[in-house]
């Protein structure tokens, strides 16, 4: 039978793991966003070699499961640091915290997905507006800031929301590298009490609520942006 009391008692403990889930999702999004902007600029400007390399990297990341990426970074990053150290860099490959691994893996994943979304949001702004902006005397950078980027952001928000929510859900995998976020906490409590359905139901509810809250917030943001430019 479903032990409601067990579920109730486990709930607050699992909730305590929410900040870690959010921390990973936030930092990964932030890292991903900064990298993605760089990727988009390099690809749109068709920087030789770099553009092709980044295109391959992006399709690689988008074509593989995030769990595999997590393991590759988990085992690969320390080795990379070891070779950097051997080459004379001041880095310490030992004792790399799991959270740094998580930030790196999820950040790269976010970079790949965000860069594709930013590119399509950019292409959705018709180039005629940029041309009109420079033809009224704006410098190219001003034209981007005043005309192109605000529309790009409005186009981006729906996809951005999806990517961010996916990231929150995907952080459930970090218990594989020893981090105790919502899913990890649920695992631990289940195996201690031999009650599985109760704790995973708790986790389910927590994920639903968290995702719902962020979906709501981002929708408000989207509405604000859309209202400023599309017929209503």
Partner 1 sequence: MLLSVKKLEKRFGKRTVLKGVDFSVDQGEVVVIIGPSGSGKTTLLRNLNFLENADAGTMNFKDRQIDLAHPKKDDVHFVRRHSAMVFQNYNLFKNKTAQENIAEGLIYGQGMDKRQALTIASDELKSLGLAAQANHYPSQLSGGQQQRIGIARATVLKPDVILFDEPTSALDPELVGTVLDDMRRLAQAGQTMVVVTHQMSFAKNVASRIVFFDDGQIVESGSPDQVFNHPREERTRQFLGALAENY
Which residues are at the interface with partner 1 (CB under 8 A)? Answer: 126, 128-129, 131-139, 142, 146-147, 150-151, 154, 228-231
Q: How far is the CB of 85 from partner 1 (least distance, A)?
A: 45
Q: How far is the CB of 116 from partner 1 (least distance, A)?
A: 23
Question: Does residue 182 contact residue 21 with C-beta atoms inside 8 Å?
Answer: yes
Q: How far is the CB of 120 from partner 1 (least distance, A)?
A: 17
Diameter over CA atoms, the chain:
73
Alpha-carbon distance 207 to 41, whole Å?
Answer: 34
Residues in the chain: 232
Q: How far is the CB of 33 from partner 1 (least distance, A)?
A: 21
Residue 176: burial class (beta carbons within 10 Å; 0-12, 13-18, 19+):
middle
In 45-97, where does DSSP find H-type helix?
50-62, 66-86
Nearer to partner 1, 95 or 128 (CB): 128
The closest of 67, 62, 72 to 39, measured between CA atoms, is 62
């Amino acid at each position: 039978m479903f032990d409601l009391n067990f579920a109730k008692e486990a709930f607050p403990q699992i909730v305590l793991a929410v900040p870690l889930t959010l921390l990973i999702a936030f930092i990964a999004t932030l890292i991903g966003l900064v990298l993605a902007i760089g990727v988009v600029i390099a690809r749109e400007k068709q920087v030789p070699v770099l553009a092709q390399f980044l295109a391959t990297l992006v399709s690689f990341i988008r074509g593989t499961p995030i769990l595999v990426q997590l393991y590759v970074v988990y085992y690969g990053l320390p080795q990379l640091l070891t070779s950097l150290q051997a080459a004379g860099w001041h880095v310490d490959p030992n004792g790399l915290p799991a959270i740094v691994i998580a930030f790196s893996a999820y950040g790269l994943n976010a970079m790949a997905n965000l860069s594709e979304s930013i590119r399509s949001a950019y292409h959705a702004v018709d180039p005629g507006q940029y041309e009109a902006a420079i033809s009224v005397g704006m410098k190219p950078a001003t034209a981007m800031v005043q005309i192109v980027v605000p529309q790009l952001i409005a186009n981006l928000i729906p996809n951005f929301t999806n990517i961010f929510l996916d990231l929150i859900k995907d952080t459930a995998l970090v218990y594989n590298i020893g981090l105790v976020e919502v899913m990890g906490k649920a695992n631990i409590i289940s195996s201690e009490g031999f009650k599985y359905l109760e704790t995973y139901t708790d986790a389910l509810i927590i994920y639903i609520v968290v995702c719902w809250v962020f979906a709501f917030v981002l929708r408000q943001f989207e509405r604000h942006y859309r209202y400023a430019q599309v017929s209503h």
